[in-house]
Amino acid sequence: MRFPGALVCLALAMGCGSGKSDQTARDTLTERQKDSILANSKIPNARAVGSAMRAADSTSARVRQADTVARDTSEH
């Protein structure tokens, strides 16, 4: 099972050498944009990032919908 190993390597690579003061000025992509680029890359198992993003979006949409319903029912 190579996916967990690849995920650990990716996390380590992203976390190494991040000089916050210098990188913040140069970094113009949002975390979501970076994840989207990664999801569309040819890196093995990168599609899992896209699947996780869709699952998170779906969950967020359901939470917003539930909040809207709760707010609408509590006003009456």
pLDDT at residue 74, as a whole number: 77
41 occurs within a structural domain:
yes
Domain that holds residue 61: 32-76
pTM (predicted TM-score): 0.53
Give the residue with greater pLDDT, 56 vs 25. 56
Using CA atoms, how far residue 46 sits from 34, 52, 53, 54, in Å, is 12, 10, 11, 13
Residue with tokens 């992203």: 14
pLDDT at residue 13, as a whole number: 62
54 occurs within a structural domain:
yes
70 occurs within a structural domain:
yes
CA distance 61 to 74: 20
pLDDT at residue 1, as a whole number: 44
Please report which confidence band the pLDDT of residue 15 belongs to, taking 50, 70 and 90 as the band edges.
Answer: low
Q: Nearest-CA neighbor of 49 among 59, 33, 36?
A: 36
For the chain, the domain total comes to 1
pLDDT (tens digit, 9 = 90+) per residue, 32-72? 999 999 999 999 999 999 999 999 999 999 999 999 988 88
76 occurs within a structural domain:
yes
60 occurs within a structural domain:
yes
15 occurs within a structural domain:
no
